[in-house]
Chains A and B, each alone.
Chain A
Amino acid sequence: MKVNVESLQAKQDKASLGLRLKFKLLNEGKLLKRDLFLYLLVFPGLLYFLVFKYIPMWGVLIAFQDYSPYLGFLHSEWVGFEHFQRLFSNPEFYRIFRNTMAINLLSLVFFFPLPIILSLMMNELRLQWFKKTIQSIVYLPHFLSWVVIVGMSFLMLSQSEGVINQLLVVFGYEKIDFLTNPDYFWILLTLQSIWKEVGWGTVLFLAAIAGVDTQQYEAAKLDGAGRLKQMWHVTLPAIRNVIIILLILRIGHIMDVGFEQVYLMMNGAVSEVAEVFDTYVYRVGILQAQFSYSTAVGLFKSFIGVALVIFANWLAKKMGEDGVY
């Protein structure tokens, strides 16, 4: 087969313009036929990306329409930026924006550094079996669903029977109603995320640390560096790149709050501090079927996310780092 194609190409070079075109088409046909199986293999996957990723990307245009399912995309009326104006003039917008930002900033400040610290500490463990055991234990919560984690939290935090409140009583404190008190909501979310993901967050750092040449530690030791200094001058620089990449990606997600977690933790008493963009889109979009308006909200959110990733990436490069893209 291969020989055939090559001889075709050789002939093609000599042929006149018209003939060349004819050969080219023939050539294409032969190549297509030769690689038919490959095209068959990729077809279903490409169809998936077309239908479930690219049609929705084009579908965000309904944010500029008054989309009605009866009229369909093609016949719905175009309204320009009306839905965006409605969003920005909505007093709810500021509350949602505040909640989203607050939850994410808490996570950025308190959650983001923890996996770095934890992996540095795990790296200092000398006993391999102990290290392996700790790793297995701290990774585990990542694989539980939010339903299970929120369910466990309710059990442990419930005011009447929860173990935390029982402990508070044992130590002579008043019981606290964690679950319906708006003051605790953001902190609870942050703590839950930490519990679920902090261990898992160390995987990439530990992989990067494992790649460090042990000679570097030997050399540092010879220079009189203790364990803390080795950590600071050898291990930390080794994971610096990973830290920056993750930070850039994290900044791109600053408008995202895990829908499942907030949706499950939300109740009437805390909705004032709990409503975030994703739950809001779900409420007005799916439950109230305001498709165009909620798409506009989602689009605004994605737009900010992409802009922030590009900005963070640019900033990192400007500061002499590698960046992601």
Chain B
Amino acid sequence: MREAAVSTIRESRFDRLFGAFNVTVLLLVGLVCLFPFYYVFVISFTTPEEYRQGGLLLFPKTWTLVSYEYLLSTSTFMRATGISAFLAVVGTLCSLVITSSLSYGLSRKRMRGRKPLMFLILLTTLFNPGIIPGYLVVKELGMIDSLWSLIIPVITSGWYVLLMKGFFDSIPVGLEEAARIDGCNDMSVWFRIILPLSLPSLAAFGLFYAVSYWNTFFNAVLFINDTAKWPLQILLQNMLIDSSTAMGGAAASDTGMASIPSETKKMAAVIISTIPILLVYPFLQKHFAKGAMVGSVKE
């Protein structure tokens, strides 16, 4: 007994040390994650003159809204933001309608052929035919340069269907039967029982969809040539990246801005584009496990 007590004390000293080490390392990890945000935030409020003087800038002498005022008065920037907002709202709604109705149908035992259909849907997550065949389909459908090309080709996915079907599977059948006895038909069961019941879950899927529509980039590179239809991420690319490297000579004219934007304006654009994500972030957090299952296998 006494020996055991001694050994606990000795180990707990080591354990305390380990605990302290652990906390320190994780604090550092947290700092590394946050620092870029802080730095970008600070730069976006710095006057361009102070930024150009150089030196290690961790806290500006004067805070200014100049960069934000400039961006918010630039029609190109506002238009691109509007397009991304449209994608996030309309795209998310469309995605939720298509994904939820498909997964609900496939979760009902009465549905004929639901097993082979589910298998075929899951097969699409395993084999990816590559960029070009998908591009040709969108092209043949005449969707190039239409904003629908950024919604319809990614409107749902096998993983989302799988997860949402799992959710519908968990709704007890008895609930539906009770409603039927009360005189509901399939349609009213769907609209009056199932949908209201799944609102919290749909909201969770919706948030993940919304973030991915807001961040749409690759499909816009493929499908959108018309600069008037650029979503925010493409405009950001032209502002932030092309103008930083030698290739981006044309960036200023493409973005409709007077000159190559200064670093402070670029960072203000980064902050503006991040704000919607930060706003939905607390709500997203509740549903991380679900999203991780989609995210971790998707990429």
Tally chain A residues at the interface, Cβ within 8 Å: 99
Which residues of A are interface residues toward B (Cβ below 8 A)? 31, 34-39, 41-42, 44-46, 48-49, 51-57, 59-60, 62, 69, 118, 121-122, 124-126, 130, 133-134, 136-148, 150-152, 154-156, 158, 160-161, 163, 166-167, 170, 179-180, 195, 199-201, 203-204, 207, 224, 226-228, 246, 249, 253, 258-260, 263-264, 267-268, 278, 281-282, 285-286, 291, 294-295, 297-299, 301-302, 305-306, 309
In the bound complex, residues from chain B placing their C-beta under 8 Å from that of A139 are 285, 288
Contact pattern, B 115-132, Cβ under 8 Å of A = 1, otherwise 0:
001001100101111111
In the bound complex, residues from chain A placing their C-beta under 8 Å from that of B34 are 137
Asked if A195 and B32 make an inter-chain contact with CB atoms under 8 angstroms apart, the answer reads yes
Asked if A260 and B218 make an inter-chain contact with CB atoms under 8 angstroms apart, the answer reads yes
In the bound complex, residues from chain B placing their C-beta under 8 Å from that of A258 are 299
Q: A52-B153, A124-B19, A268-B246 are in contact. Are A166 and B56 (CB under 8 A)?
A: yes
Beyond A38-B110, A258-B299, A298-B129, 16 additional pairs, beta carbon < 8 A: A41-B101, A41-B105, A45-B103, A45-B161, A48-B156, A124-B22, A140-B37, A144-B215, A166-B55, A166-B56, A204-B289, A204-B292, A207-B289, A226-B15, A299-B129, A301-B130
Asked if A46 and B289 make an inter-chain contact with CB atoms under 8 angstroms apart, the answer reads no
A199–B12 alpha-carbon span in the complex (Å): 29
In the bound complex, residues from chain A placing their C-beta under 8 Å from that of B263 are 155, 161
Tally chain B residues at the interface, Cβ within 8 Å: 104
* B102 contacts partner chain A, Cβ-Cβ < 8 Å: yes
In the bound complex, residues from chain A placing their C-beta under 8 Å from that of B152 are 48, 52
In the bound complex, residues from chain A placing their C-beta under 8 Å from that of B237 are 147, 151, 264
* B192 contacts partner chain A, Cβ-Cβ < 8 Å: no
4 nearest CB pairs, A to B: A298-B130, A45-B102, A151-B240, A59-B133
Contact of A282 among B54, B131, B134 (CB under 8 A): B131
A160–B263 alpha-carbon span in the complex (Å): 12
When C-beta atoms are compared, the residue in chain B nearest to A141 turns out to be B33
A260–B161 alpha-carbon span in the complex (Å): 25
Asked if B26 and A38 make an inter-chain contact with CB atoms under 8 angstroms apart, the answer reads no
A34–B187 alpha-carbon span in the complex (Å): 11
Of A146, A147, A156, A295, most buried by chain B (CB within 10 Å of CB) is: A147
Contact pattern, B 139-168, Cβ under 8 Å of A = 1, otherwise 0:
001000000000011011010010000000
Asked if A161 and B54 make an inter-chain contact with CB atoms under 8 angstroms apart, the answer reads yes
When C-beta atoms are compared, the residue in chain B nearest to A115 turns out to be B296
A282–B15 alpha-carbon span in the complex (Å): 53
**Which residues of B from 156 to 197 have beta carbons under 8 Å from A?**
156, 158, 161, 185-187, 190
In the bound complex, residues from chain B placing their C-beta under 8 Å from that of A145 are 214-215, 217, 233, 236, 273
